[in-house]
Amino acid sequence: MAASSGVTTSTGRPIAIDLYAGAGGLSLGMEQAGFDVLAAAELDPIHALTHRFNLPQTAVLCRDLSDEPVLKVASALIEAAKASAQAHHTDEPVELDAVVGGPPCQGFSVGGVRDAEDERNGQFLRFVDLVVALQPKVFLLENVAGLLEPRFESLRKEALRRLTVDGGYEVTGFDEAVSAVDFGVPQRRRRVLVMGSRIGDAPSLMADETAAKVTVGDALAGLPSLRSYFALLSTDQVPLKVDDLARLRGARSTYARILAAQEIAADDFSWPRVYNDAVLTNSLRTVHKSKSVQRFRNTPQGGVEKISRLYRLDPETQARTLRAGTGSDRGSHTSPRPIHPENARVITVREAARLHGYPDWFRFHGTNWHGHRQVGNSVPPPLAAAAGRALVEALGSPALSRPTEAVKLGDPEWLWMGRTEAVEELARLAGAQQDAATKPWSTT
């Protein structure tokens, strides 16, 4: 039995719900592809509040999606989407077009133990069950390449059975991984993208083999060296000096110019954001010991520093996969960060975001631990947008245009809140909006 999926919009854009949404990389990519993401769900309150900051038109439910019956969860998601539509659009009923999401992947990850019994693997089938309950026209499930290992064969088969037999979907993507490099991301990141349709052939994702690969140098073009920005030792943002601002705006890399809002990609249908490009954000510096600085300086580009085992970025090629580290439930371990290709230090959150494909207006938590975790855990927006365009095509390629109305970002104070503060702020926002969908969903 499917939950009622009637929601409302007046934009003519297809509608999506994002599950296990993190800080919003997949939501942003879907928006760039032409979707309005009306609702999202994320367990971590710090991630959820960051998502709310960057995508203020999306209702965010901060909740474990597995602790209540599927239909109850599905109904709450639909009610949240309805409330979001009523707040930002008019009341023209339409069907839910897409459900997307990247359920927790630590049990499958090549960076972890790859445990077939990891309890977080259960969220994978919960995502499948929510797709079947919500009955969107199309769906996208993103996960790590480790999902394809033989030890997870029974899990894949069960997921496929539920999607095809119970859900009525044509499905692709369970047989191979794709590389983010092939979709305009300067990072060697392999992912599984499972897509399905119940209205026709399953969506397919094809890379442009003739397109030039984006490099680390392309990605970091225009960003300053930070040596003279002493304020970044205690804060994550500073006004750019005149010369550095001119360098940012004059970067020759098309990739960097798009992320710095100096150009707009022809296939970008996202809502413009109100932001000040003269302020550098998410650039809190890491203080290294003098011996570490010297070792970093002596490490060749593309090489590995022998003591820390950190590798140094090569500007002529792509980065290795950016890692997220672990959350507080798994020991709060910091992920290894690559060494900057030109400077003897590890990269900042903003530089990591450039390597992931995030525009410069997109903000992350102000601390290095949370900020790098949010980047590393997320779907690179260019990869998400490519998948989103495949979903749009499967929907019949509705006519799309880039909105002209600029969206104001959230309160910057949210980006420095700890877990308790974030929980309280999310509850306050839900109450202020009188969101019927979030009231039954305690954020504690």
Residue-wise pLDDT for 159-193, tens only, equals 999 999 999 999 999 999 999 999 999 999 999 99
Catalytic residue among 17, 49, 105, 155: 105
Read off the pLDDT band of 10 (50, 70, 90): low
Domains of the chain, first to last = 7-210+379-432 (3.40.50.150), 216-377 (3.90.120.10)
Q: Write the DSSP string, 155-190.
A: HHHHHHHIIIIIT--EEE-SS--EEGGGGT-SEE-E
- Give 310-350 pLDDT, tens digit per residue: 999 999 999 999 987 654 544 445 678 999 999 999 999 99
pLDDT, one tens digit per residue, over 209-224 is 888 899 999 999 999 9
The β-bridge relationship of strands 138-144 and 190-197 is: antiparallel
Reading the block at residue 203, the tokens are 């969506």
Q: Who wins on pLDDT, 374 or 11?
A: 374
* Position 199 pLDDT exceeds 60: yes
pLDDT at residue 4 is higher than 70: no
Round to whole Å and give the CA distance between 218 and 283: 18
- Average pLDDT over the chain reads 90
Lowest mean per-residue pLDDT among 40-49, 88-97, 122-131, 260-269: 88-97
Per-residue pLDDT tens digits for 225-261: 999 999 999 999 999 999 999 999 999 999 999 999 9
Average pLDDT rounded to a whole number, residues 54-58: 95
Residue 62 is a catalytic residue = no
Per-state percent for the chain, helix, strand, coil, to nearest 5: 35, 15, 50
Give me Rg for the CA atoms of the chain.
21
Q: Please, what's the b/e burial string for 159-195 (b: 16 or more CB within 10 A of its CB; e: otherwise)?
A: bbebbeeebebbbbbeeebbbbbbbbbbbebbbbbbb
pTM of the model: 0.92
Question: Within a 13 Å sphere around the CA of 58, how many CA atoms are in the beta-carbon half?
Answer: 34
The 10s digit of each residue's pLDDT in 408-437 is: 999 999 999 999 999 999 998 877 654 433
Which element (helix H / strand E) includes 263? none
pLDDT bucket at 90, cuts 50 / 70 / 90: low
Binned at pLDDT 50, 70 and 90, residue 1 comes out as very low
